[in-house]
Structure 1
Amino acid sequence: MTYLNTLAAIALAAVSFAAAQPVAAQPGNCPPGLAKKNPPCVPPGQAKKGVTTQEWLNRHRIGERVDPEDVDWIDDISRLNLPPLTDGSRYAVIDGMLVALDADSYELLQLVRKAAAVFQ
């Protein structure tokens, strides 16, 4: 009888693992409300424009240039209950997404803003 119980437990674990894999393959950092939409993880306004899930998730990449006019600086983080940053880092909103910029990225963004102002 113990052999059958062990075999049943292994079979149940294998079925549970196989059923869980598609869920784990879903894109990360997706709000629960958007996860249920079609396409998943895409805001309704962007979905109406024909944006796919992959396009939405790949809209920003590390090292990508950001237009200075797309950045909103957040100076009073106490209102947002955000953890304080160290080493000269700052919070910013870039294209509607909250990001933390380290000191080097912040300095580089300031140089880009100054250069953009010269060429306007």
Structure 2
Amino acid sequence: MDVIAVGSSFEIDALSMLGFEVIKAPELLSEDDIHHILGRILTSRLVVLEEDVYVQVKERLQEILETARRPPLVVIVPTLKRGETYRLEELHNMISRAVGVRLKWKK
């Protein structure tokens, strides 16, 4: 079973001690980088993605995962550079869309 971790910060390197194959990505991904990362995601069973990388590959990743026969488990982790995470806002928007009304959210 392949387990990979993809990110640009040095914190992601610690996952190599747990058996993850760590893929260091640049801060700004090129098309080749995105293609390489998506290819590695499809051949893995567990993927840990830093949020900065996830934001750049999100749309294409969702398209690929919807059509994959056995998609990997994808875990998005926040980077320590920022104090807040984009995932909470994204989750709030998804729940609001599912319910059909814009939910109030106190930050």
Relative contact order: is structure 1 or structure 2 higher (C-alpha 8 Å, sep ≥ 6)?
2
TM-score, length of structure 1 as denominator length: 0.19
